[in-house]
Amino acid sequence: MEPTAPVQLAKALTTFDALWSPRIVTTVNDYDVRLAKAEGEHVWHVHADTDEFFLVVEGELTIALREEGGERAVVLERGSVFTVPRGTWHKPHAAPGTAILVLEPTGTSSTGDAHDPVPDHVDSTTGHTWHA
């Protein structure tokens, strides 16, 4: 998917309401650039073979991480970026009004290769095509 015009993220966010249901706004090589509205908890999951890049567009995102030394959480405010390393179990949690941009290889599931039970408010998807 290659847009024929620049994508204004703020405007793109007005075109959908679903939470934790990413829209593919463009691609870079073999990677999707996904835009999502988020609120509340996602699900513990892991991507075995790829890192996952997060950029907070609006609001605040906390990512819980299960690492060798135990669990920790990173807090991302608007404009912050963080990469979850491949093979790391993680669980995002978003404050109300949060929007995120995620960069992942095309075809990567939003709930990873393994995950806890997926709650109804989380869309397990490889991304939805976004329409301006």
Q: What is the pLDDT of residues 89-102, one digit of tens each?
A: 999 999 999 999 99
pLDDT at position 4 is 73
Which architecture characterizes domain 9-121 according to CATH? Sandwich (2.60)
pLDDT band at 70 (very low <50, low <70, confident <90, very high): very high
Predicted local confidence at residue 5, as pLDDT? 83
pLDDT for 19-65, tens place per residue?
Answer: 999 999 999 999 999 999 999 999 999 999 999 999 999 999 999 99
Rounded to two decimals, what is the model's pTM? 0.93
Check residues 3 and 90 and name the one with the higher pLDDT. 90
pLDDT band at 132 (very low <50, low <70, confident <90, very high): confident
Q: State the pLDDT confidence band at 79, using cuts at 50, 70 and 90.
A: very high
If one compares 3 and 4, the residue with the highest pLDDT of the two is 4
Domain ranges, ordered by start, for the chain: 9-121
Secondary structure (H, E, C), the chain? CCCCCCCCHHHHHCCCCCECCCEEEEEECCEEEEEEEEEEECCCEECCCCCEEEEEEECEEEEEEEECCEEEEEEEECCCEEEECCCCEEEEEEEEEEEEEEEEECCCCCCCCEECCCCCCCCCCCCEECCC
